[in-house]
Amino acid sequence: MSCVFCKIVRGELPAHKVYEDAETVAFLDIHPMTEGHTLVIPKLHAERLADLPPELAGKLFQTVQRVAGRITQALEAPALNIGVNDGRAAGQAVPHLHVHIIPRFPGDGGGSIHSILYKPQKRPLEEIHRLIADTL
């Protein structure tokens, strides 16, 4: 398997790991957007969130919560952006599911998740709601 994050899991590539358990691992991003930018991944290779066995989704988010708390304390970060680029069109470059934890500081010049894209809505909310809610 040539997946870089699988190689980090197996210890074949070095990484600054900050947390590890049986199912998940967290390590510093090699090109941090801010100090402490960390990635949390499942050890099992899954390209996207939809590919992750559902029983691991909760476990992954538990690790996100734990590591986020540790980063907040260690770096005295007053805020965090936590998110996933889920699929290439969303900007995913590494095809192994990973949750970004990005510490944020007042005046750091960054935006919120709303700054990813602004596209005026075309179809009415009711139509979109029907499309999505009906599949739940």
The secondary element (H helix, E strand) that includes residue 125 is helix 125-133
The single residue of 37, 98, 100, 129 carrying the catalytic annotation is: 98
Q: Based on CB atoms, which residue is closest to ligand 5GP, 93 or 136?
A: 93
Tell me the closest approach of the beta carbon of residue 41 to Zn ion, in angstroms: 8
Residue 102 pairs in a beta bridge with: 81
Residues that bind ligand 5GP (rule: CB under 6 A) add up to a total of 14
Nearest of 67, 97, 63, 90 to residue 80 by alpha carbon? 67
C-beta separation of 40 from 67 below 8 A? yes
Tell me the closest approach of the beta carbon of residue 50 to Zn ion, in angstroms: 15
Q: Based on CB atoms, which residue is closest to ligand 5GP, 87 or 128?
A: 87
Nearest of 127, 104, 126, 123 to residue 115 by alpha carbon? 104
Tell me the closest approach of the beta carbon of residue 2 to Zn ion, in angstroms: 9
Instruction: Return residues touching ligand 5GP (CB under 6 A).
Output: 4, 13, 15, 27-31, 39, 85, 91-94
